[in-house]
Amino acid sequence: MSLMMLALVTYGFSNTIGPGLVHTQRPVRDVILLSVHGAVFYGWMLLMVAQAALVRLRQIRLHRLLGWFGAADAALIVIMGLWATFHQPAPLALEMVGVLSMAGFGIPVALAIRCRKRPFYHRRLLIVGTAMLTNAAFARFPGTYLPGHFFYAGTDLLIAIGVAHDLWKERSVHVVYRYAMPILLAAEIAVLIPAWRYLG
């Protein structure tokens, strides 16, 4: 899952990073802050891959140590994500899409930190939070793959893969997914309805 999400994020942002950041007329300050925003975001995706590998290699002590760096990076993602949402004037409906993305990432990750000694909860909460973070990448997919209005569909599909894995391996759906899926779907619908006319 972590490798898949890393690949999706890499592909999604590869479509816009050139014209949106490298070749841009933005003020230098904005370019620097957007670069930091991108770095902490991508750092999280790389960290997810590293942490999954450490668990597979049974390097649990290193996994736990690196987890605290992950917690700091997650806090930076929320701070920088909210900055990216509000730093330029935009309709409130669009700003709420960004707020939901940060809440949909930050809350599950905070709960994952709290449940760090309960691995069945911990990893599913991290999958939910990280999947929610990928909607920014799905929003940058070419329209031939995913229409601009439906970027949350990619996020929901990633979580659905987690649900399918549970059904296949455990013959049941974990309580994390049972609560997260309906809450996120309701929140996505609530922010998309007013934002619909602004989305390309």
Q: The pTM is what?
A: 0.89
Question: Of 80, 112, 53, 97, which is closest to residue 193 (Cα–Cα)?
Answer: 97
Could you report the per-residue pLDDT of 97-118, keeping only the tens digit for each?
Answer: 999 999 999 999 999 999 999 9
Dist. CA 135–CA 180, nearest whole Å = 16
To 5 degrees, how large is the angle CA 8–CA 183–CA 114? 80
Token code pair at residue 108: 């599950």
pLDDT of 21 > 60? The answer is no
Percent of the chain whose predicted confidence (pLDDT) is above 70: 92
Output the pLDDT for position 125.
98
**Is residue 20 very low, low, confident or very high in pLDDT (cuts 50, 70, 90)?**
low
